[in-house]
């Protein structure tokens, strides 16, 4: 019986794949509603017309992070410009659970990696945090935003994670909102395992990941003095900052988020 159900659900899944997932998925800024006509940006036209070689009449999926996912049809397309018409609603709006990732930016490709993976793992807000060991030039927020959008397009998200301006650790803790717990990955032996701690949390939550080289002793003390901060451990091995971010997000989604 289970086998038959599985088979049916597999067929349903494949049908859905054929119908939807095969269609190119694009983020747009415009509001979305039935029948609306949207001008393509130069980049979008280049991508659809130039790279994908799509032609007038071709269908794609679009989302703006607010209005769900819609099917659209190209009414005009060249390599430099084009238009599409919104034809039908494919999926109702859905916002990822309310989980923040506060992270000290790390080296270029690891940073891109954190943005991509955390977007896949359904993070709601990115909060860059500068710490004493943080080493990077000026943050390219525009570049980070486009990396987030690209990840959201491929992971079938209907919303976009919010990207905040960087703050210092002191600012982050000083302006901390009422009723949100801050979980930080700490190698110190007395912290409880992450899963155990995350299970017990009844408030909204944020995760904090240190830079390569970790927090300084002063920063650790400052963090542990806050009544809204809980340190957790992620096992006996030393994890890179980007690994710790993904592991914490995975565990949070499994016990507090939408993986249940």
Residues at the interface with a second copy (CB under 8 A): 2-3, 5-6, 9-10, 12-14, 21, 94, 96, 109, 113, 116-117, 120-122, 154-157, 187-190, 193-196, 217, 220-221, 224, 233-240, 243, 246-247, 250-251, 253-255, 257-260
CB 194 → a second copy: shortest distance, Å? 7
Quick one: which of 95, 34, 22, 12 has its CA closest to 61? 22
Check if the beta carbon of residue 46 is closer than 8 Å to that of residue 37. Answer: no
Check if the beta carbon of residue 114 is closer than 8 Å to that of residue 93. Answer: no
Please, which residue, 36 or 155, has the CB nearer to a second copy? 155
CA 253/CA 113 separation, integer angstroms: 19
Please, which residue, 76 or 116, has the CB nearer to a second copy? 116
Please, which residue, 100 or 252, has the CB nearer to a second copy? 252
Q: CA-based Rg of the chain, rounded to a whole angstrom?
A: 21
CB 155 → a second copy: shortest distance, Å? 5
CB 53 → a second copy: shortest distance, Å? 20
Please, which residue, 76 or 156, has the CB nearer to a second copy? 156
Q: Return the sign of the alpha-carbon dihedral for residues 82, 83, 87, 93.
A: positive
CB 185 → a second copy: shortest distance, Å? 12
CA 182/CA 191 separation, integer angstroms: 14
Please, which residue, 85 or 224, has the CB nearer to a second copy? 224
* Cβ neighbours of residue 188 closer than 8 Å, sequence gap 6 or more: 220, 231, 233
Q: Which residue has the tokens 């943050």?
A: 139
Please, which residue, 112 or 172, has the CB nearer to a second copy? 112
CB 234 → a second copy: shortest distance, Å? 7
Please, which residue, 38 or 194, has the CB nearer to a second copy? 194
Check if the beta carbon of residue 209 is closer than 8 Å to that of residue 244. Answer: yes
CB 143 → a second copy: shortest distance, Å? 18
Distances (CA, A) of 20 to 12, 77, 95, 124, 242: 12, 21, 20, 25, 32
CA 110/CA 131 separation, integer angstroms: 17
CB 35 → a second copy: shortest distance, Å? 28
């Amino acid at each position: 019986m289970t086998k038959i159900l599985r088979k049916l659900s597999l067929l349903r899944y494949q049908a859905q794949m054929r119908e939807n997932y095969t269609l190119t998925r694009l983020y747009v800024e415009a509001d979305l509603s039935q029948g609306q006509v949207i001008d393509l940006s130069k980049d979008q036209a280049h991508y659809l017309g130039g790279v994908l070689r799509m032609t007038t009449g071709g269908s794609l999926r679009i989302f703006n992070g607010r209005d769900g996912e819609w099917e659209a049809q190209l009414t005009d397309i060249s390599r430099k410009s084009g238009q599409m018409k919104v034809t039908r609603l494919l999926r109702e709006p859905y916002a990822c659970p309310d989980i923040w990732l506060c992270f000290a930016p790390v080296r270029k490709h690891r940073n891109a990696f954190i943005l991509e993976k955390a977007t896949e793992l359904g993070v709601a807000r990115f909060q860059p945090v500068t710490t004493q060991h943080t080493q990077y030039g000026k943050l390219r927020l525009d570049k980070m935003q486009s990396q987030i959008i690209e990840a959201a397009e491929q992971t079938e998200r209907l919303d976009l994670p919010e990207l905040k301006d960087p703050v210092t650790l002191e600012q982050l803790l000083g302006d901390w909102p009422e009723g949100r717990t801050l979980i930080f990955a700490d190698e110190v032996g007395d912290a409880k395992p992450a899963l155990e701690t995350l299970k017990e949390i009844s408030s909204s939550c944020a995760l904090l990941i240190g830079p390569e080289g970790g927090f300084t002793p002063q920063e650790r003390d400052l963090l542990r003095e806050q009544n809204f901060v809980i340190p957790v451990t992620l096992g006996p091995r030393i994890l890179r900052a980007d690994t710790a971010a993904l592991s914490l997000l995975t565990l949070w989604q499994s016990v507090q988020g939408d993986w249940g």
